[in-house]
Structure 1
């Protein structure tokens, strides 16, 4: 049965989606992701765009309505404009969104599912578009977070609040989630006030100022038997680095008869950078040295002390809120005493993973989750946790008081008073779970921003040597309960979910998918150890919420059996882990093939470094693609979605650029043929030759081209039952990816035939010399072979020659006063390099004016499509040579190209008399 092609299989407004994804990542507040920490969530804006394109027919599928290519193109452009509008932040969540009305007739009545729901981006995107969803995950923390993000707000849409302060408020239109949000905030503030009554003496002020944080350092005894002083293991002495506001911890040695060494360290605060200690900083790789005797303190010694329970802590500074600035004080006896709390019985239990790749604390004796909290932190966490049960009872009483029926519990599908009390308890529990991330002994003080950080700043649990203990009772400071409460309610203020939603706990191999549309963001091979990382939150959520969600918290820790990640530590080696991962994913994609609606393609998000697309020497890309192929899926398209700034020098230089590649899958026919290697290679060349131009025109950045080319390449490979190598063995996906990358290089290099003679020379010279000098004789030979001369190119300002050497002029060396009118002949190389110079020196407006000059030349100017192709080619050369600065320049020019062109053709400016660049095609 032939299915209608969906928009996602044909064309997307990729630049608009990428722009919105980057803008969303840059937002600091109000993002749905801020509800609670999760790892590597996809941008909601991108998920909305991809879901729309997955559900909407491409106009080419309806020849009766769109009988001509022009009609198809016009309708496709209209749909792209709608999607570009839909990715704008908050557009579809406006109370009176005209966009939702415009989209409604285009969206079919379907249920979307993500069997790896994670942080909930895909079901949330569905809810914002008014599409039903039924998703699942094996991880109970992921299930709980997505319930809070999607399922619960949808159940209590337009509810009036029940807290007496809110019900007394006049004239509020409690539409959407506003009533729910008002109650979360009201009961959250009650919770804070009750905790403050019990804990206030543990968090004193200092000199009349509210305390924000206490900065501690771990200590270990000096290994020198003559010394034995307790050495502070400090990673940095800085408290504040802003110019004019510097603050530094300065250690001193004082007498202490009570210590075995007779000495101890004390600490003062200096605002003079000359007092910065030059030594004594601790590293988990190199250790440190004793500031008293100079003895070397190795990492192994610190680990030995920690495992023996002899690692201690000492207070090094107190941070206060001075209104317009932070104030820093030396430790006082009052504040040392306030922290000296009897250790409560730990409310949480469980062992931290011993996998050293992601978890450092167990190497130093911190083996249980309760070990990650100071006595004062445990006391505070236990106090907040235990008050939630009281808050839930208050909600139930207040809901019944205003006439809400009791009804069933939330887990049984209720929507009355019992369910509402469960819902408020859920959000307060998540606020406390979030507080755990900000209030533990692995949090660090960040000297640039002068704030306390949280534990999970990366996808790992690192060891913190100097620790920032935030004031949990503060009025909204980083690490306080009220700050965590605010992060919970801000995303919910925007929530206007439509449709019906459910989130269940299931292994993806057995998730309920029947007749659903699948869009999923699966685990990334071995990149993130989800279950072990989320155990930290699970133990607190289990303590707080087990009564309300008993089925989610049946186990002591997050389930590990059945988790689809390649965990070599757990599986017994890389090879076995990779094999288990592949087997599991074949089962998942086989399960999807058997159950999902055949009308729609399957969409899979996958994130990886750019070099992984080559397939050589890594398992990530090849393993997940092999699973799809083995489960009889054909990859029909891939789209690179940028979630990181593609113009970051460090990312390009270190090959750490992370994008999300969206793969579009269709079932492969049951009788797909087998072909030999040469047939595959011929078809691959043909496919990539056509695809590269389309991808470049579609705004794909050079840094993303390698990943984007996987789509048409894998579409060729995966359409066949088998591709046979020269020796008759079946070609693997890993081998196919290598071939795709090789052919991509061939195709890009073949573009040189479209360049003018000076540009062909400059490309060849750049390939060997970059912007460095080379022998004149070599340059002369290359120039003659391309029907030009070194002298001619020097006159045109492409290069300079002196003392028998030739050097291409880099953009920074080009003259600012260059005018195309006075140049008899302008090459593609010159246009590119002067555009880069204008962009980097004076900004995008100046670059737009320069391109306008090029377009207005009487000779028709230069084909700007080829200038863009030239930038792609030079980027690949620079990246291969590891010329980071050059790669950055070429990549930035391409990503800025659409805006440069828009400025060049702004209405009111002179139109080009003749142009070889077709703007309609560029659209």
Structure 2
């Protein structure tokens, strides 16, 4: 193919080489006249300053909701940054020599919606599609938020209606005798030893929690002894349990590698074995109380324990069974069978009542649906699957780190929430909706959002914003209508989006079956895990993207993975889809200080990949700049060398590519921390 010939001439130095066929090209006399006259195609990525973009991306990943408030509308995982994607759109617009031209930007893996938002911020038309129903309704809601006043009015109505129930469920008395609110309720797992039948409290660590956030540099803490008693102490020195006088070492771990030692006979048992024996239970041991900006952590009183267990909190809805899966296996191993098992009865009951009230809080159906989405979103803080950050005094969602968590010290949030404390609560989410709507109106021109539409329906060029729901093997778009396909496909088997969204879909009464056409490898259910299944599926999706691209359109997307075979599958799919690589660039993509990424060799950079449909054109190849240092950029430069041959990959390329990638230091074992 002509593109392949031209690439070979200009790619030798893997840099901004002279354009093949130009007067400065020493090979120009070898070029056929039809090539010298064919269209020149260059990558818009050459306009990007990767260092500036990476600095912006680092800042954005550390507080996404400040930089891009609409992302708080619905929960999604591994969102990329507006800093990177907005810069790509700007570079592409500059390539068109008309920054004010309204483009059609298509995102076939829209997920968390950052790319559609970036396009809308620049006044472009958008077609965004995802196979996940939670993403599809989330995108539709986020991109078409009602006016802030409408949301504010409905929130006031919901607050008025739910206040009596919240007071009954979470009202308490502070240690000084004044009225307060329970913001978090802590439970520890308990189980009988299979050898001596002793009942053990399974605290994971001796240091249960500080009493003030770490940055305040106060040492006071609540500790647990090996016999399961709670005692006041300090995180920086040993103490004696005030109940049994056992020495407590604050640095001790009681369930290393998820194995517990009986405090009576010393028998060692795996936590999963204890859970499967059926005598596993949860005991309320601590609460966090709050009042007007003041919060305190203390052992739970008899009244607080009784309130948490009140038979009044009887859930009515079944959320369905937890299916087998790559991420759900940890839940099954530890005794969770139904999605409802992840929630204490009180939390489930309050969420159910909130969902019943939401439709009555606004005459605007879109506003009522938005309230319901915020309520469902708070269900990610599952009270028997969420853990507590004992250093910074906050709870983590049950899918933190793109995995379902399991811990033997769980924290149930006040489902409604309190202004003083509580991540992810309904009240906090409703406040974020108002901020997101305000921000959108300050930064964009509000346009109607159509969707979610069936991608197998009429093929029409969007004017404004359209959201599709279904496999991106089919897009509801006519041929050659898109200027730019900009997307962020799933990274092979890294993030199981479908599984992570299941509890939210269960609460939202959405389909919770695994969707055919989901472009993720899941070995637990044999999804795209056999032979070339994954590569062939991606190829069909990329071929559909090529179909909707204009003749001068580009497909640009980011990808990251630590699997050589995943990269080879991707390159094979792109080649088979009839696309030619024209450029790539390395940018920072993730917050490496994130809790889930500390101390592991995770991906913190993306390779931006730029392709065009194969055809009679000359390609001016853009190779990543060589001034980014580190094992990961070095690895991505090796990937780039192979990627830039897409469109004319030589026979036997795959084995050579994988061998070369496997030799990279980035794929080796992480060095031990000093």
CA distance in structure 2 between the aligned counterparts of 1:236 and 1:302, rounded to whole angstroms: 18
Give 1:627 deviation, angstroms: 0.5
Give 1:443 deviation, angstroms: 1.2
Give 1:453 deviation, angstroms: 2.3
Q: Which residue of 2 aligns with 1:338?
A: 307
Give 1:528 deviation, angstroms: 1.3
Q: Which residue of 2 aligns with 1:212?
A: 183
Give 1:124 deviation, angstroms: 0.8
CA distance in structure 1 between the aligned counterparts of 2:597 and 2:386, rounded to whole angstroms: 26
**Any idea what SS the aligned residue of 1:475 has?**
coil
For 2:625, which of 662, 678, 695 is the aligned residue?
695
- 1:731 matched to 2:652: yes
CA distance in structure 1 between the aligned counterparts of 2:641 and 2:317, rounded to whole angstroms: 54
Change (3 A) 1:660 1:882: closer
Q: Which residue of 2 aligns with 1:593?
A: 546
Give 1:459 deviation, angstroms: 0.9
Counterpart contact for 2:555–2:612, Cα < 8 Å: yes
CA distance in structure 2 between the aligned counterparts of 1:652 and 1:383, rounded to whole angstroms: 39
**Any idea what SS the aligned residue of 1:508 has?**
coil
Counterpart contact for 2:64–2:71, Cα < 8 Å: no
Equivalent residue runs for 1:258-277 within 5 Å? 267-271=230-234, 273-275=237-239, 277=248
**Any idea what SS the aligned residue of 1:187 has?**
helix
Give 1:483 deviation, angstroms: 1.5
Q: Which residue of 1 aligns with 2:455?
A: none
Change (3 A) 1:702 1:11: farther
For 1:664, which of 592, 605, 610 is the aligned residue?
610
Q: Which residue of 2 aligns with 1:23?
A: 59
Q: Which residue of 1 aligns with 2:192?
A: 221
Counterpart contact for 1:441–1:467, Cα < 8 Å: yes
Change (3 A) 1:456 1:304: closer
Q: Which residue of 1 aligns with 2:461?
A: none
**Any idea what SS the aligned residue of 2:47 has?**
coil
Change (3 A) 1:192 1:271: farther
- 1:485 matched to 2:430: yes
Give 1:648 deviation, angstroms: 11
**Any idea what SS the aligned residue of 2:532 has?**
helix
For 1:568, which of 516, 523, 531 is the aligned residue?
523
Counterpart contact for 1:136–1:506, Cα < 8 Å: yes
Equivalent residue runs for 1:321-360 within 5 Å? 321=290, 326-342=295-311, 344-360=314-330
CA distance in structure 1 between the aligned counterparts of 2:284 and 2:669, rounded to whole angstroms: 49
Q: Which residue of 2 aligns with 1:800?
A: none
CA distance in structure 2 between the aligned counterparts of 1:596 and 1:300, rounded to whole angstroms: 51
Equivalent residue runs for 1:311-390 within 5 Å? 311-321=280-290, 326-342=295-311, 344-390=314-360
Change (3 A) 1:217 1:501: same
Counterpart contact for 1:214–1:470, Cα < 8 Å: yes
- 1:435 matched to 2:354: no
Q: Which residue of 1 aligns with 2:415?
A: 472
Q: Which residue of 2 aligns with 1:111?
A: 104
- 1:14 matched to 2:50: yes
Counterpart contact for 2:65–2:72, Cα < 8 Å: yes
Change (3 A) 1:522 1:346: farther
Give 1:35 deviation, angstroms: 2.3
User: TM-score normalized by structure 1?
Assistant: 0.59
Give 1:650 deviation, angstroms: 11
Give 1:42 deviation, angstroms: 0.9
Measured against aligned partners, the alpha-carbon deviations of 1:690-736 in whole angstroms (never above 9, x if no partner) come to: 977x7136x67774243145335432x2242x52xxxxxx2234523
Measured against aligned partners, the alpha-carbon deviations of 1:253-293 in whole angstroms (never above 9, x if no partner) come to: 7xxxxxxxxxxx66444457423734995537341122234
CA distance in structure 2 between the aligned counterparts of 1:585 and 1:298, rounded to whole angstroms: 40
Q: Which residue of 1 aligns with 2:556?
A: 603
Measured against aligned partners, the alpha-carbon deviations of 1:302-323 in whole angstroms (never above 9, x if no partner) come to: 1322xx3x21111121222376
Q: Which residue of 2 aligns with 1:96?
A: none
Structure 1 stretch displaced more, 373-382 or 49-58 = 49-58
For 1:244, which of 218, 221, 228 is the aligned residue?
218
Change (3 A) 1:115 1:364: same
Give 1:435 deviation, angstroms: 1.2
For 1:459, which of 402, 412, 415 is the aligned residue?
402
Counterpart contact for 1:269–1:330, Cα < 8 Å: no
RMSD over equivalenced CA pairs, Å = 3.5
Q: Which residue of 1 aligns with 2:465?
A: 501
- Ranked by relative contact order (alpha carbons within 8 Å, sequence separation 6 or more), the top structure is 2
For 2:534, which of 581, 586, 589 is the aligned residue?
581
Structure 1 stretch displaced more, 283-292 or 627-636 = 283-292
Q: Which residue of 2 aligns with 1:142?
A: 135
Give 1:181 deviation, angstroms: 1.8
Give 1:216 deviation, angstroms: 0.7
Counterpart contact for 1:513–1:592, Cα < 8 Å: no
Q: Which residue of 2 aligns with 1:718?
A: 646
Give 1:58 deviation, angstroms: 6.7
Change (3 A) 1:267 1:710: closer
CA distance in structure 1 between the aligned counterparts of 2:595 and 2:382, rounded to whole angstroms: 34
Measured against aligned partners, the alpha-carbon deviations of 1:488-514 in whole angstroms (never above 9, x if no partner) come to: 332332113346101111211012243
CA distance in structure 2 between the aligned counterparts of 1:453 and 1:246, rounded to whole angstroms: 22
**Any idea what SS the aligned residue of 1:360 has?**
helix
Measured against aligned partners, the alpha-carbon deviations of 1:506-549 in whole angstroms (never above 9, x if no partner) come to: 2110122431231111111111111121111111122xxxxxxx
Q: Which residue of 2 aligns with 1:622?
A: 568
- 1:190 matched to 2:118: no
Counterpart contact for 1:640–1:700, Cα < 8 Å: no
Measured against aligned partners, the alpha-carbon deviations of 1:114-150 in whole angstroms (never above 9, x if no partner) come to: 1111111111111000000011111111111111221
For 2:474, which of 506, 510, 530 is the aligned residue?
510
Measured against aligned partners, the alpha-carbon deviations of 1:57-113 in whole angstroms (never above 9, x if no partner) come to: 277xxxxxxxxxxxxxxxxxxxxxxxxxxxxxxxxxxxxxxxxxxxxx424333211
The count of corresponding residues between Structure 1 and Structure 2 is: 593
Counterpart contact for 1:622–1:737, Cα < 8 Å: yes
CA distance in structure 2 between the aligned counterparts of 1:133 and 1:712, rounded to whole angstroms: 32
**Any idea what SS the aligned residue of 2:607 has?**
strand
Bigger fraction of residues in helix? 1
Measured against aligned partners, the alpha-carbon deviations of 1:788-828 in whole angstroms (never above 9, x if no partner) come to: xxxxxxxxxxxxxxxxxxxxxxxxxxxxxxxxxxxxxxxxx
Equivalent residue runs for 1:678-689 within 5 Å? none
Give 1:390 deviation, angstroms: 1.1
Structure of greater Rg: 1
CA distance in structure 2 between the aligned counterparts of 1:567 and 1:507, rounded to whole angstroms: 17
Give 1:375 deviation, angstroms: 0.8
Change (3 A) 1:882 1:347: closer
Counterpart contact for 2:183–2:418, Cα < 8 Å: no
Q: Which residue of 2 aligns with 1:413?
A: none
Q: Which residue of 2 aligns with 1:37?
A: 75
Q: Which residue of 1 aligns with 2:92?
A: 54
CA distance in structure 2 between the aligned counterparts of 1:490 and 1:340, rounded to whole angstroms: 36
**Any idea what SS the aligned residue of 1:224 has?**
coil
Give 1:358 deviation, angstroms: 5.0
**Any idea what SS the aligned residue of 2:186 has?**
strand
Give 1:336 deviation, angstroms: 0.9
CA distance in structure 2 between the aligned counterparts of 1:881 and 1:36, rounded to whole angstroms: 36
**Any idea what SS the aligned residue of 1:566 has?**
coil
Bigger fraction of residues in strand? 2
CA distance in structure 1 between the aligned counterparts of 2:115 and 2:133, rounded to whole angstroms: 17
Change (3 A) 1:56 1:662: same
User: TM-score normalized by structure 2?
Assistant: 0.80
Give 1:880 deviation, angstroms: 8.5
Change (3 A) 1:3 1:55: farther
Change (3 A) 1:626 1:283: farther
